[in-house]
A and B are shown apart, each in its own frame.
Chain A
């Protein structure tokens, strides 16, 4: 039982770290010399490295909000898990934790989908960067973790 709990906790922390890196890193789409993402557009040209804030369009702001919300909800579910670990009745399920975790996964999915669909077309056809990949990896992990919490029962 203890091993299972430890494993689940480690998974949760890994998901939280993935989400934080994906939200904060400047690499949702990369072209040759530039990294572009939610927050900044950076490019190296003429020997200088210039960064300017991302365009203020609606969809980028929506993606920003959804990623931040997913990080927050993952964090809330971690706190709820630790709280329910000590306060839950014997045989109870971690519902609060599961709800927050599943909501977090839904938000990541929405954010990644919106970014994919409305990807900025500058004509340079950039490839997707590692932060984008991390977001897509975090989504199924988060969903699985939430389902585990629904199934998990507190013993002893």
Chain B
């Protein structure tokens, strides 16, 4: 009975995930870069299987406005093959680690013509069923200011100054009031001392406030 259960569980574990497993590939969604800079396009995958020795990565590039893709990178059998004829010759470098399921590439010295969609496809035999994932590259001549950054900055600075001025104003009033209070207390204390000293003498000098009443 036990052996039967053990066998069924092993078989189920073997069959069911096999039917539901698929390789999942992750790249970014969109990447922004300046003309002339370098950018690293990352690609990694998730698979239920161990990373096999025949793992492959391949990148294809589709320029903006074009319907054809061109293959620019392929990694297979432990060797990386970079583009040596296409738009990225001498500008492409493999910086990934296939052992760690990382198939990232580095594009150097970007040009405005490099705008487009880069698709990464990874296969981990026997886990080969999966959807390639795409990342869109946008190359700018100068960094565009995001909407609302300057607006928020100006509003924040002015309101901050306002709060600062109000706080300083009330602080000054508080300090001045405290100073006046401590001065009046010391004066009151002096008067009391003089009064008690002169009580020993002949006649205490008349208090002008008492006369008025």
The interface of chain A, by Cβ under 8 A from chain B, is 53, 56-58, 61-62, 64-66, 68-69, 72
Contacts and interface: CB of A to CB of B under 8 A. Distances in A.
Q: Which 4 A-B pairs have the closest CB atoms?
A: A65-B154, A61-B150, A65-B151, A61-B151
B213 interface: no
B79 interface: no
A56 B151 contact: no
Contacts, number: 35
A62 B145 contact: no
A61 B158 contact: no
B147 A53 contact: yes
A61 B148 contact: yes
Contacts of A64: 148, 151
A58 B155 CA distance: 14
Contacts of B158: 69
Contact of B151 (A53, A68, A72): A68
B146 interface: yes
Contacts of B206: none
A65 B149 CA distance: 10
A99 B150 CA distance: 25
Interface in B103-159: 144-155, 158-159
Contacts of A56: 144-147
Contacts of B154: 61-62, 65-66, 69
Interface string B158-173: 1100000000000000
A65 B147 contact: no
Contacts of A65: 150-155
Contacts of B147: 53, 56, 61
A98 to B, nearest CB: 15
A68 B144 contact: no
A69 B150 contact: no
Nearest to B152: A65
Nearest to A96: B166
20 contacts: A56-B144, A56-B145, A57-B145, A58-B145, A58-B150, A61-B148, A61-B150, A62-B150, A62-B151, A64-B151, A65-B150, A65-B151, A65-B153, A65-B154, A65-B155, A66-B154, A68-B155, A69-B158, A72-B155, A72-B159
Nearest to B157: A65
